[in-house]
Amino acid sequence: MANWYAIAATERGVVTASVLTAAEWKSDQAGGGADAPNFKNIGAAGGYSTQAAAQKVVDAFNAQPNTNKLAKAGVTTAPNLPNPLTGVAAIGDFFSKLGQRNTWLRIGKVVVGLVLIIVGLVQLTHTQKLVKTAGEAAVLA
């Protein structure tokens, strides 16, 4: 008669195995334990006659990486999610482009375009005196 079971318990994505008595295992299977859905028998279907035999299975299970344990415990893993740190690479890419000739040509074209737009607006609105006064104030400051 089996008195010991090797059980894997899953909590927050981490699987650990432990040894339960036959009474504890039957209670969890019957819904007596609050964590019953998180338990899975990882050893022999009928259990083990000695605690040492069950402990040997538990020790071998716990020595594995968590990803292997999740699969053996029947836990589905999360889907492949995109790397949230790709923005860091984009920042590095931005700074590497600052050293390129074409970047500075584009910046120069934008600045010249803005100056032409401002000059055009000044000519259209006849605010030369206001611009001249603002320019003199900027020079004095």
Judged against a pLDDT cut of 80, whether residue 42 lies above it is answered with: no
Per residue in 108-127, is it b (16+ CB within 10 Å) or e — as a string? eeeeeeeeeeeeeeeeeeee
pTM score of the predicted model:
0.42
pLDDT tens-digit map of 48-107: 777 788 888 888 877 877 667 666 666 665 556 667 777 788 888 888 888 889 999 999
Beta bridge partners of 21: 4
Is residue 10 within 8 A of residue 75, CB to CB? The reply is yes
Residue ranges of the domains in the chain? 4-72, 86-140
Q: What is the largest CA-CA distance in the chain?
A: 104
